[in-house]
């Protein structure tokens, strides 16, 4: 069996090269029953995970994903890793540029496939801003908080 370090590093490299044409190759890295979550989704199953990524490619272009700082638990038999990342993309309808900085936690099964991928990031940092009324409201709330802390 390959190590958690090798599998996670290979997975990160694949995610950096992910595009609409190679989405199905995700099945080489992830278990059929993978648990995936982020601030907007919580799902189980490789097809559902692929569908989430496919939707991203349908709604955004100029997508760039870069992983950094892959961390592994120092326990001998631990199968969990985490990595930080930056996602940059442009919304196709509004043409607004979005940059998200986040962190992922992945768990690798004994048989070498990823069984859990959890993303952690702040959706109010950019994503909510492309939703017309919600974006304006969040902008006002942030401004009011900033002014009250002075």
What average pLDDT is seen over the chain? 88
Q: How far apart are the C-alpha atoms of 65 and 100, rounded to whole Å?
A: 10
Q: Is residue 149 part of a domain?
A: no
Share of the chain above pLDDT 90, in %: 71
Q: What is the average pLDDT across 134-148? A: 62
Query: With bands split at pLDDT 50, 70 and 90, how would you rate the model's confidence at 99?
Result: very high
Q: Is residue 97 part of a domain?
A: yes
**Distances from the Cα of 56 to the Cαs of 18, 23, 35, 61, in angstroms?**
11, 11, 18, 9
- What pLDDT, on the 0 to 100 scale, is given for residue 144? 66
Q: How far apart are the C-alpha atoms of 35 and 70, rounded to whole Å?
A: 20
Q: What is the pLDDT of residues 30-66, one digit of tens each?
A: 999 999 999 999 999 999 999 999 999 999 999 999 9
Whether pLDDT at 150 is above 60: yes
> What CATH number did the domain enclosing 30 receive?
3.10.450.50
- What pLDDT, on the 0 to 100 scale, is given for residue 92? 94
Q: How far apart are the C-alpha atoms of 19 and 72, rounded to whole Å?
A: 27
Residue 43's domain spans which residues? 4-121
Query: With bands split at pLDDT 50, 70 and 90, how would you rate the model's confidence at 129?
Result: low
Q: How far apart are the C-alpha atoms of 129 and 26, rounded to whole Å?
A: 30
Q: Is residue 133 part of a domain?
A: no
Q: Is residue 150 part of a domain?
A: no
User: Residue 96: what are its φ and ψ, rounded to 5°?
Assistant: -80, 135
The H or E element containing residue 148 is helix 132-148
Q: Is residue 49 part of a domain?
A: yes
Q: How many helices (H) and strands (E) does the chain have?
A: 3, 6
Q: Is residue 99 part of a domain?
A: yes
Lowest mean pLDDT among 6-10, 41-45, 146-150: 146-150
Q: Is residue 141 part of a domain?
A: no
Q: Is residue 59 part of a domain?
A: yes
pTM for this predicted structure: 0.82
Question: What is the tally of structural domains in the chain?
Answer: 1
Q: What is the average pLDDT across 16-26? A: 97
- What pLDDT, on the 0 to 100 scale, is given for residue 114? 97
């Amino acid at each position: 069996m390959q190590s958690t370090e090798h599998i996670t590093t290979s997975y990160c490299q694949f995610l950096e090269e992910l595009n609409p044409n190679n989405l199905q190759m995700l099945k080489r890295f992830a278990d059929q029953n993978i648990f995936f979550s982020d601030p907007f989704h919580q799902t189980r199953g490789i097809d559902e995970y692929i569908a989430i990524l496919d939707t991203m490619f349908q709604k955004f272009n100029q997508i760039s994903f870069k992983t950094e700082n892959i961390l592994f638990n120092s326990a001998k038999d631990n199968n969990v890793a985490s990595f930080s990342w930056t996602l940059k993309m442009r919304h196709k309808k509004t043409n607004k540029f979005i940059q998200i900085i986040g962190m992922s936690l992945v768990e690798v099964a004994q048989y070498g496939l990823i069984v859990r991928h959890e993303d952690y990031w702040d959706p109010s940092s950019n994503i909510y801003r492309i939703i017309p009324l919600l974006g304006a409201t969040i902008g006002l709330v942030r401004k009011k908080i900033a002014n009250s802390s002075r």
